[in-house]
Structure 1
C-alpha cells in the first residue's frame, strides 16, 4: 500500500511512501503522518492513495497522527485548486491552511560531551564563543536556541568541526505537538434523588445538587464553585452515588463585550425583501450563484445576511460569514450571537489561541456547529453542508494575504461556492471595481439597497480646502477651524465624534534641522515613526526600535525636528482643545492586547467616549447611533501611494468612514480636510456617488490595461545582497520575455521591470519586482512557472503573487 504525502518542509512537494501492514487500516486522505525525509522526521499530510507507483525503494511512514481526518476529498480538491492557482507548493500550502501548533516537530539537539579540547586544537573566535555559549546548557539545547545565543544566522560549519573533535554531539529529537485534544471529566448522578441519601455530608449533598442542576456537569465547573470538589467527587464515586467519564471538549473563544440590546428586527423595506428573495431562491435550488449586495452605508445589509442564514439553518444547511478583520466587527458577531443559539456558532481567526483554532476547525468539520464566522483563513475550514457563503465588506484589502500563500479569501470564497454549489453573497457599500465589473460582464447578479433603513438621510459632507486662508487654526495644528467648531457643537448636543487620521504614532519621522539627516530603519528603506508616549522611534515593517535620540548621530546637533503627524499627536491636540471631553484613541498601538479593541468600541457604544481618534480601524463596520460627526483629518495620504488602485482606495475609505455618521435618529455631518479638493475621488465620495466613481475609474483602467481588463502576477525577488537581488531579477525578467516571445500570440503578455519597489529594502533584504501583465490567466501562470524553474535553487528568494494588491 502506498500514500502520497504533502510535506511543508523543504520544497513543499508531495512524496510517495509505503505503508507498513500494521498501519494500513489507519491511513486515509486528510490524516497527518510522521515520515522520514532526508536525515530528519517530519509531519506530512496524506493527499492521495495511489494503487501503484513506478518508484523503487520507498521509505515507510513511521506513524499515523490523527484518529480522524482533518478534511475530506472535497476540501482537498479545493485546497489543491488554491495551491495551483497561487503557484504555491502543496505541502507548504497545507502548512498555511491547517491549524497551527498540531504538528510533531523535529529539532536538532546540540549536547556538550564534557571532553576538554586537546592542547593541539586550534579554534576560531566564533568557535570559542560557540563552546562558551553551549557551556550554559549542560544538558544540551535546541540548535535554534544556541544559534540565537551566539547571535548568528548559521552554526552548521562550526558545529560539524567541533563534533569532529569530539567536543559536542548532534542528534534529532522529536517535540510533541503544542496543541492536543482537550479532555474533561463529565460527572453525572448514578441514580436520581441521590442527594436525599441520609449518609451524606452537607458538602456532598451540595455537590450532588449542583450536578443534578447542570446537564453535562464537568469537574472543572464543580471545582470553580465548590472548594476541593475533586476530593468530594472521588468519595461520592467510591460510594456509588456518581459516575464519571472522560470526554473531549471544545475550547471556546471568549465572548466579545456586549454592544447593547439587539433591537427587534425591522420590517424589511422593498429593496431588502427583493435582495433576500433572490438569495433564498438560489439557496433553494442548491446551485452556485454569485451576488453583489451593493447597499449604501446603513442600508440594512446585515439584516439581509441574518435572515438568509436563518433560512439556511431552518432547511438543515450550514453557512459561512466572512469579515475582513474579526476585531473590527465585534458588533456584527454580537448581533449574530443574539439572533442564533450560541452552540451553533464557531469562530475562526488569528486572534484565537492555537488550541481554540484547532477546536473550532474540528467543531465545524464534525457538524457540531452550523454557522462559521471568521476572517480570511475561515475560507479553508471544512463545513459539512455548506449552502450559503457571505463575504461582508468584500472590497477590503484585508482579505488578501501578502506572506506565504498569498491568497485572496474573497476570490476563494467565490471558488468555494462553485465547489459546494452554493450561492455567494459579496456585500459592500463600496464594491471592489473588479466585483462591480463582474456584475456587468461576467454573470454576477447585483442586488441594490440604495436607501438607508427607515429612509434616514446619508450624512452631509463638507470639504475643507486646507490651502484656503483661515482654514488652519495654527501652523502646526491638525484640526481646521470648521472641523474644530463642528466638534464643539457636537459636544454641546451630547453626541459623539469620530476623527480619522490613517497614520499611527506622534509624527511621521524625525530629522536634523542642521544637516538634514533623516532617522531611518537599520533594516528597511523607510523612515522610523516617532512614538512620543514611549519616547521611541519605531519601524512599522520590521518592529526595529530605538530610543528617540537627543542628538543627531551625524553632526551632533541637538536640533531634532519632526515632520508629519499621527494619531498620537492628533489625540494630544484634541485633548488639549477639548479638556472636558472624554477622548480615546483607536489604532494598532493601543489595541495590541487581546480584547482591547472590543473594549474601546463597547465603551463608545455605551456613550462613555465623546471623541474617538483612530486610523482606518474606525472606518469599518461600526453602527454607533449617537455618532453624528465624522472628521477626516487628511484625505490626501492614500491618493499619493504609487499604486494604480490609489483613487479607488481613497474613495472607499472616505465613503466608509463617512457612513459611520448619522446612523441613529439624528442626521450626520462629515468634514473632509484636503489640499486636493477637486480630486474626482474626493468629489465622488462627497456626493456618495459610487456609479460616477466607477465610470471615471473604469475608463482609466481600460486605457492603461489594468484589472479588470488584464490580469497581473507580481514576481518579487529578495536577497541580503543588493547585487544578487538585481542580478537574479534581471535573469528572471529575461526568462519571462524569452518565453513570451516564443509564444504564438506575441501579444499574450508583457513584462514590466525589473524595478525597485517603493520599499526597496525590508528586514535586511534588498528587493526587486517584475510584473507580468496580460489577458490570458493560463498563459500568465505558465510564464510564472517558467520563471520559478529558471530560479532553480534560488527559488526561496522568489515569491509569486497572483492578482497582487500590494506593490510596496
Structure 2
C-alpha cells in the first residue's frame, strides 16, 4: 500500500498537520488519526506539497468512502473558511454530526464498498460518491448502524447468501416475505407479515441469511401537525410572491410591518419551490420560533419537513441529517448552523427576522448565517428572501443601492391595525413619586384594565435576575466577579450572586469584602423582581416569566409559549426572547419597562438594536382582532430610536441613522474586522496585537487600537481589541497576507456585532 504525506485538518486549535495516507485518497473524506495519545477525527485535504522532514505517523483509519457533503456545500465550506479565517474542519461539525459514520459493508450491485477500499480503488469510490449524490437510493444502507444500540428503527434485509437445503416453515415465511418486499422490511412489519417471533429472525441472522440494522434516517421528530389554514394573499403579498423568480439567484428584502403576513409569502414561495421538485432552506433566529412554525409547515407539507437546532438530542440530529443526505426531507428549518445543513438541490432560501444578532456566532468559527445564506443561494443559483419588519441597515442600504430587490408589505390583514404606542417619561414619574418605581401609574392602570377584560399583557425588561448588582453604600464598591471584569447579578430565588459571563456564583456576604461595612444593597431590577412585584399587585393573575433562567430545561420555552398562545397566561414577563416573531391572539398590552436600557452601551449599533427591539416587541400587541396598546417607559423620550419606534417608522429611523454611520465610516459604508487577543496579562495581549499591527502591509485600511475590550477580563483572561476598517477586498487581503495561527493568542471576528 503506497502511503504519501497528506494534509489533515482537525477540529482543534491547530494548523493542518501532515500524516501518511493512501495515495489517491479523495479530498474531503474524514479519517481517524492519532494526536499524541488520543484518537481524533480529521479531514483529508490532499497531498502535502512540502511535507516536513520529521518522521510522519500514518492515519489509523478512513471513515468515509467518499465525501459525504454535497459538492455545492463543500464549495460553501471553502468560501467560509477563507472569509472567516478558519479551517474547513472547524465548519464540518456544523454540517455533519461526528457520530454519523458510513457503513462500509453497504452494497451496490452486490459489491460492498469495503471491497474497493481494500483494493485501494479510490477513483472507483469517488465515482460512486458522485453517483450517490445524484441518487442516494443506490446505497440504501450507507448510513445504517450495524450495531442495534441506540435510537432508530430496525430494518431486516436479505444478505444474498444462498439458501440452505433445509429451512423451517417459519424461516421460509420470513425469507418469502422479504423477497416479496424487494429484499428489505422494517422489523415489526416483517414479524406481522410472516406471523413469527423474534427467535426466528435471530436464527436466520446467525445462519447469515438476514442482517438487522438501525435505520436512523427514519428518525424524524414526532410532531403534531395542526390544521393547514388556507389564507388568501392580499395584493401586496401577491406582488411580493410574483417578484421572486425561482430558478435564478437574486436577493430579495421583504420589509413589512409586524403582523403583515410575511410568513404567508414564505409559505407560498416554498410551495412553488417544492412543486418544482426543488428543496427549501428556512432559517429562523431563535429555537423558540421553531415549534409553532413547524406545526404550520407540517400541516402544509406533511412528512416533508426536517429540523435542526441546539435543543435536539444526538439521535434527533443524527436522524434528521441522515434524512437530508438521503433526500428524505424537502424542507429544512433551523437556526444559525442550519445554513450549513447537507441539503441538495436547493430552490429557495428564507431568512426570517434577518436583522437578528443571533445569526452571528460569537464562538469560533464566527460565521454569520444570513451572509452565508446569501452566498449559498448564489452557489445554488436560487433566490433568497430576507424578511424583517426592521431590516438591518446593511440590508436596507443594499436594497437602496439596488443590490437587493426591495419588497414591501405596508398593511396588516383586514380588521387588524397597528397598536397605539405611548411614552411614559420616567423623569416625571420620579419627580412625582420621589422614588424610583418599577411600574409607572399609566402602565399600572393599563395592566388592571387589561386583566379585567380577560386579555393578556406582556412586560419586557432585557435584564434577568432579581437585582443588577450589589453595592456597598459605605465605600461605593460593587461586588464583582473574581474572574471577569463585571459585577455579579443577584438571583433571589437561588440566593446567589452570579456572573452571567463565566457562571461563577457565591452566597451574598453579610458585610462588604472591601471595607467590612454592613451596608450592602441591591441596585436595579431584573425580570425576577418584576415577577415578584406583579404577584404582590395582582395575586390572582396567572404570571409566567420567560428568560434564560426559567428556560434551561429542554422544551420549557416552547411549553411556555404554547401556554401563552392558548390563553393560559395573563401576564408574560421576560427578556428579548419574547420580542421575536411570536403571536399571542389575546395579547393587547405590551409594556417596556426601561426602553432606553440598550442605548447606554458603547456600540455604534446601540440605537439600531434599541429601535429594532422596541418595534418588534410592540408588534406583539393586537395581532388578532383585538386592538393593541404599547407603553414605553423611558428616561430618554426624545432619543431618535425611541421617537421613531413610537411612530413605527423604520424608513425615518434609517434616514436619521445612516448619515451618522457614513460620517464615522461604519457599516454599511465600510466593513470591519476585529482582531482579539487573550492572554494572562494585559501587557501580553497588547503586545500580541501590536506585533500584528506592525506587520500590516495592506493599503486603504484604518486601524484602531490595540485597545481594551469593553469587558477587559473574562474567565481570568485579559482581552484587547484591534479594529480594522476598510473594503471587504482589503480585509480579505489582510487575511491572505497575514493568516492567523489557529492555536495562537490572536483570533479574528469578521463583520463583528459584539465589541464587549
What is the TM-score when the length of structure 1 is the normalising length? Answer: 0.79
Structure 1 residue aligned with 2:10, among 7, 10, 23?
A: 7
Q: Distance in 2 between matches of 1:492 and 1:394?
A: 37
1:625 positional shift:
1.1
For 1:103 and 1:723, locate their aligned partners in 2 and report how far apart those are by CA, in whole Å.
Answer: 46
2:639 aligned partner: 679
After superposition, what is the alpha-carbon deviation per residue over 1:551-593, rounded to whole angstroms, capped at 9, x for unaligned? 2222333222010110000111111111111101000000000
Secondary structure, in 3 states, of the residue corresponding to 2:525? Answer: coil
Are 1:290 and 2:251 matched, yes or no? yes
**Equivalences for residues 77-92 of structure 1 within 5 A:** 77-92=75-90
Gap regions ≥5 residues in structure 2: 103-144, 159-168, 171-176
Flag the 1:178–1:249 CA change in 2: closer, same or farther, 3 A: closer
Corresponding residue SS for 1:332 = helix
Q: Which residue of 2 aligns with 1:107?
A: none
**SS at 1:350 equivalent:** coil
Q: CA deviation at 1:266?
A: 1.8
1:781 aligns with 2:706: no
**1:224-373 mapped onto 2 (5 Å cutoff):** 232-234=197-199, 245-250=212-217, 252=219, 254-255=221-222, 262=227, 264-279=229-244, 282-283=245-246, 286-341=247-302, 343-373=303-333
1:624 to 2:622 alignment = no
Does residue 702 (structure 1) correspond to residue 657 (structure 2)? The answer is no
Listed one character per residue, the Cα deviations across residues 221-250 of structure 1 (whole Å, up to 9, x for unaligned) are 999xxxxxx99432698799x998434223
What value does the CA root-mean-square deviation take over the aligned residues? Answer: 3.4
Say whether 1:807 aligns with 2:755. yes
Contact 2:424 2:633 in 1 (8 A): yes
Q: Distance in 2 between matches of 1:263 and 1:305?
A: 15
Structure 1: how far apart are the matches of 2:347 and 2:615? 32
Structure 1 residues 234 and 505: CA distance shift in structure 2, 3 A: same
Contact kept? 1:251, 1:355, Cα under 8 Å: no
SS of the residue corresponding to residue 250 of structure 1 reads: helix
Counterpart residue number, 1:422: 382
Contact 2:146 2:214 in 1 (8 A): no
SS of residue matched to 2:444? helix
The corresponding residue for 1:44 is 42
Q: For residue 48 of structure 1, report the CA deviation from its aligned partner.
A: 4.2
CA contact (8 A) 2:675 2:746 kept: yes
| Counterparts in 2 of 1:545 and 1:785: CA distance versus 1, 3 Å | farther
1:389 corresponds in structure 2 to 349
CA contact (8 A) 2:148 2:154 kept: no
Pairing of 1:558-577 with structure 2 (within 5 A): 558-577=518-537
Query: Judging changes above 3 Å, is the alpha-carbon distance between structure 1 residues 518 and 334 closer, same or farther for their aligned structure 2 residues?
Result: same
Q: Which runs of 5+ in 1 are unaligned?
A: 105-175, 190-198, 201-207, 224-229
Higher deviation after alignment, 518-527 or 548-557: 548-557
Indicate conservation of the 8 Å contact 1:5/1:14, yes or no.
yes
Q: Deviations over 1:408-462 (max 9, x none)?
A: 0000000000110010000000000000111111421011000112252100100
| Offset, 1:31 | 2.5
What secondary structure, in the 3-state scheme, does the structure 1 residue paired with 2:479 have?
Answer: coil
CA contact (8 A) 1:628 1:666 kept: yes
The C-alpha deviation readout for 1:761-795, integer Å capped at 9, x for no partner, is 01110010010011x22222333455556xx6x95
Map residues 524-603 of structure 1 onto 2, 5 A cutoff: 524-603=484-563
Q: Shift of the alpha carbon at 1:359?
A: 2.6
Partner SS for 1:783? helix
Structure 2 distance, partners of 1:363, 1:559, is: 61
The DSSP-based 3-state class of the residue aligned with 1:304 is: helix
Task: Give the Cα–Cα distance (whole angstroms) in 2 for the partners of residues 409 and 802 of structure 1.
Answer: 13
What SS class does the counterpart of residue 533 from structure 1 fall into?
Answer: coil
| Cα-to-partner distance string for 1:365-391 (whole Å, 9 max, x where unaligned) | 221111100111011111111110000
Equivalent in the alignment of 1:796 = 744
CA deviations 1:141-184 (Å, max 9, x no partner) are xxxxxxxxxxxxxxxxxxxxxxxxxxxxxxxxxxx999998564
| 1:319 Cα deviation from its structure 2 partner | 0.3
The number of residues matched between the two structures is 686
Deviation at 1:257, TM superposition (A): 7.8
Aligned to 1:489: 449
Deviations 1:716-748 (CA, angstroms, capped at 9, x unpaired) = 111122221122232223333xx24xx4xxxx1
> Given the superposition, is the C-alpha separation of residues 262 and 629 from structure 1 closer, same or farther in structure 2, using an over 3 Å criterion?
farther
Question: Bigger CA drift: 297-306 or 84-93?
Answer: 84-93
Q: 1:337 aligns to what SS in structure 2?
A: helix
Counting only pairs closer than 5 Å after superposition, residues 639-654 of structure 1 correspond to structure 2 as 639-654=599-614
User: 2:471 aligns to what?
Assistant: 511
1:247–1:718 distance in 2 versus 1, CA, 3 Å: closer
The answer as to whether partners of 1:465 and 1:471 remain within 8 angstroms in 2 is no
**Deviation sequence 1:80-110 (CA, Å, 0-9, x none):** 1000001113333335554245699xxxxxx
Partner of 1:456: 416
Where does residue 701 of structure 2 map in the other structure? 749
Give the 3-state SS of the residue equivalent to 2:551 in structure 1.
Answer: coil
Contact 2:153-2:186 at 8 Å conserved across structures = no
**Is residue 328–residue 617 contact of structure 1 (8 Å, CA) maintained in 2?**
no
Tell me the TM-score normalised to structure 2 length: 0.84
Instruction: Please identify, of 368-377 and 356-365, the stretch whose mean Cα deviation from structure 2 is larger.
Output: 356-365
Partner in structure 1 of residue 31 of structure 2: 33
Taking a change above 3 Å as real, the CA distance of residues 674 and 262 of structure 1, as seen in their structure-2 partners, is farther
- 2:116 matched to which residue of 1? none
Once residues 463 and 438 of structure 1 are traced to their aligned partners in structure 2, the CA distance between those partners, rounded to angstroms, is: 32
For residues 668-711 of structure 1, what are the alpha-carbon distances to aligned partners after superposition, in whole Å with 9 as ceiling and x for unaligned?
00000000001111110111101101100111111111111111
Deviation at 1:542, TM superposition (A): 0.6
